[in-house]
Amino acid sequence: MFNRTAVRWDGHQQQAIINNLSFELEDGEQLALLGDSGSGKTTLLNLLAGLLVPDDGRIIVDHKAVTGRSVDQLAQYRRSIGLVFQQYQLLAPLTVKDNILFQYRLNGLDSPDKDLADITERLGINHKLNALPHQLSGGEQQRVGIARALIHRPSLVLADEPTGNLDQDRSLDVVRLMTDLCQERQVNLIMVTHSHQLADFFARTHYLKNGCLYQDSEGKEAIHA
C-alpha cells in the first residue's frame, strides 16, 4: 500500500512527517491508526485519498498506483473509495437518502434499492431516509456518513476520527457497526483515532511517531517514549 513513501512539509525539512514508510494491508484487513497530535495521521490518510502527493515513494491501492495519476484520474479514484469524516460532511439541503447516494450517482451506478435498504437497516437509519441532516442526532449523521462511504462498494474506506464528535457509547456503537460492515463486505478500513478503546475493535493497530509506524506493543512503548 505504501512503498518507501515520504512527505516533508516546508519548515519540517529536518524531520519528515512521513519518513520512508512502507506497509501493506491484506484484502479486507482493518487498521486503527494512533499517534500524538501532529504526528501525521491525517497526512497519511490524505496520501491514501490522493489528496496529497508524496515527495518520495509510491502508494498502491487495489493493485494500482495512486501516485503518478492526473488530476482527473485522482478525482475518479477518490469517487471509488469511501471517506468518513469527523464533521460528517453531509450536504445540508439533501435528504438522508440523497446524501447516501450522492457519490454513488456520481459514479453513474444503477439504483441500489436492495443494498440501500439493507445497509440503512443495519445502521438503524432506514426510517430517516427522507429526513434532512439537521433533523438527525450526531450519531445518526455519522451512520449516514458510513452508509455513504460503503454503498458504492469501495475496496478501501478511510475514516478520520469518525467519532470525534460523539460521546463514548455512541462512539462504540458507530465503530462497531463500521468495522462489522467493512468486514462483511471485505473492505479495507483505515481509521484514525486517539482512543485505545476504539482501536481494540481492530485486529491491527499502528502507531505513527517521527514519521514511522510502530506495531502493537512496540508502538505503545514508542508513543510514550
Q: Are the C-beta atoms of 44 and 33 separated by less than 8 Å?
A: yes
> Scanning residues 15 to 34, which ones bind ligand ATP (CB under 6 A)?
17
CB of 119 or CB of 192, closer to ligand ATP: 192
Q: Are the C-beta atoms of 208 and 218 separated by less than 8 Å?
A: no
Residue 210 falls in which region: left (phi positive, over 0), alpha (psi -120 to 50) or beta: left
Contact status: 152 vs ligand ATP (CB under 6 A): no
CB of 37 or CB of 217, closer to ligand ATP: 37
Contact status: 162 vs ligand ATP (CB under 6 A): no
Contact status: 38 vs ligand ATP (CB under 6 A): yes
Smallest separation, CB 11 to ligand ATP (Å): 7
- Interacting residue with ligand ATP among 5, 43, 171, 193 (CB under 6 A): 43
- What are the φ/ψ torsions at residue 24 (nearest 5 degrees)? -135, 150
Contact status: 188 vs ligand ATP (CB under 6 A): no
Helix axes 168-184, 138-150, angle to 10 degrees: 10
Provide the 10 A C-beta neighbour count for residue 27: 9
Residues that bind ligand ATP (CB under 6 A): 9, 17, 35, 37-43
